[in-house]
Amino acid sequence: MTDASQNYETGQHPDLPPPLSEVGILGWLKHNLFSSPLNTVMTILAIWFLWAFIPPVLDWMLFDAVWSADSRKECWALMEEPEGAACWAFIKSRFSLFIYGFYPEASRWRVDLSFVLLVLAVLPVLVDKMPGRKFGLIYAIAFPFIAGWLLVGGLGLEPVETDQFGGIMLTIIIGVTGISFSLPLGILLALGRRSSMPVLKMLSIMFIEFIRGVPLIALLFIASSMLNFFLPPGTVFDLLLRVLIMVTLFSAAYIAEVIRGGLQAIPRGQYEAADSLGLNFAKAQILIIMPQALKISIPGIVNSFIGLFKDTTLVLIIGMLDPLGIGRASLADADWSGLAREVYLFIAMFFFICCFGMARYSLYLEKKLHTGH
C-alpha cells in the first residue's frame, strides 16, 4: 500500500501525515515560542527571567521561611542567613488581630457567626440552582441588618464600640455594605440621569459628576472632619457609619455610569414594546429594561465592586484599622519591626484572592447569561 513507486490517478493520492515539526509538542513550540527571531529572543529572555526570579522568591516565601518563632531575632537565628527568608511566625502571632482588629475576645463568636451568615446569604445570590432560592434571597436582603445587630450589639447583646472594629472584618463590613447598597442606589441614579424630568436629571448629573470628580480620600476626610458641622448640634454620628455612607455614595456614582452605559445600549423598540403592552414605568423597568441593561453592564459593575473593595484600604488614612492599618501598627512593635515585606505580602494575598475571585465569577456570569450567537 505505502509503496513509494506506486502510481496514483491525479488527485487520488492519500493525505500524507503532516511533518513532525508542525504537530504535537514540537509544532506547538515552533508556532508559539520560536516563530521568528524576535520571538526566539523574547522567549529566551522570558525563560531567563523566570529562572532568575522564581526560585529565589519561592525559597524566600516557602522553603527557607520560618513558621514559628517568638520574635524577629529568634526568626532570623533559625535561618541559614539572617533576613534571608520570610518570617511567617510574625503573621501567625498576629493572625487574630489581622482578622478581628480589637474586637473584644469574648464576643468574637459574633463575628464568626456573622461571617457564616454572610456566606449563607451570598450563596443563594450567586448560585441559581440552590433549592429554596426565593427564601434565600429574602434572607439576603435581611442579612445586613441581622449582621449589623450581631456586630454592634444592643438588644440583648453586649454593645461593642465600632472603633474596636478592625482587620479583615472591617474590610468585609465596608465592602459588603458598599456593594449591597450602592447597586440599588446606582440604578436609581442611572434612571434619574436618563429621566425626562429636568429636575431629577439635573440633580442626578450634579451628584454623579461631583462624586466622580473628587478622590475618595477627600470624601473620607469630609466624613471624618467636616460632616458633623452639617448635623444638628449635639448629634453623635458614628465614624464607621459615616465612612460606610461615603463609600456607598462614591461607589454608587460609578455604578450609575456603568448602568447608564447599559441602558443606552437597549434599543428604543424595547421601551416601545413595553409601552404597547400597557406596562407602567416600574413594571417596564423591572420586567423588560433592567434585566437586559444589567446583563450588559455586569463586567463594569463587578469592576466597580472590585474597585470598591480595594478602596476600603483608604480608611487607613483617616485612622481606621483595616488590615493595612493593623499591619502598619504591628510593624511598630519593637519585637517584630522590619518585617514589612511579610505583612504586605500577606495582605496582598488576601486582596488578590477576593478580587480575582470576583473577576472570575463575573466572567462565568457573562458566559452563562450570554444569549447571543
Residue ranges binding other proteins (CB under 8 A): 31-33, 35, 39, 42-43, 46-47, 49-50, 196-200, 203, 210, 212-218, 221-222, 225-226, 228-233, 306, 310-314, 316-317, 324, 328, 338, 340-341, 344, 347-348, 351-352, 355-356, 359
CB contact at 8 A, 87 and 106: no
Contact 175, 309 (CB under 8 A): yes
CB closer to other proteins, 1 vs 38: 38
Query: 83: phi > 0 → left, psi -120 to 50 → alpha, else beta; which?
Result: left
All cell numbers assigned to 164: 474596636
With contact defined as beta carbons under 8 Å apart, do 289 and 260 qualify?
Answer: no
Closer CB to other proteins, 117 or 331, in the complex? 331
**Sequence-ordered list of residues with C-beta below 8 angstroms from that of 195, at least 6 positions apart, any chain:** 201, 204
- 113/203 with CB nearer other proteins: 203
Nearer to other proteins, 37 or 156 (CB): 37
Q: Among 288, 286, 294, which Cα is nearest to 276's?
A: 288
CB-CB contact of 274 with 207 (8 Å): no
Q: What b/e string do you get for 262-275 counting C-beta neighbours within 10 Å, with b at 16 or more?
A: bbeeeeeeeeeebe
User: Minimum distance from CB of 357 to other proteins (Å)?
Assistant: 9
Nearer to other proteins, 116 or 205 (CB): 205
| Residue 131 CB, nearest approach to other proteins (Å) | 33
Q: How far apart are the first and last CA of the chain?
A: 46
Cell numbers given for 319:
485612622
Nearest-approach distance from CB 264 to other proteins, in angstroms: 14
Shortest Cβ 240–other proteins spacing (Å): 19
CB of 318 to other proteins, least distance (A): 10
Distance between CA 181 and CA 60 in Å, rounded?
A: 42
Residue 117 or 358: the one with the smaller Cβ distance to other proteins is 358
Q: How many CB atoms lie within 10 A of CB 30?
A: 13
Alpha carbon 125 to chain centroid, angstroms: 16
CB of 42 to other proteins, least distance (A): 5
Query: Smaller CB distance to other proteins: residue 11 or 198?
Result: 198
Q: How far is the CB of 72 from other proteins (least distance, A)?
A: 14
Taking the least distance from each CB to other proteins, the nearer of 194 and 310 is 310
Nearest distance, CB of residue 126 and other proteins, angstroms: 19
Reference 245, options 174, 296, 306; nearest CA is: 174
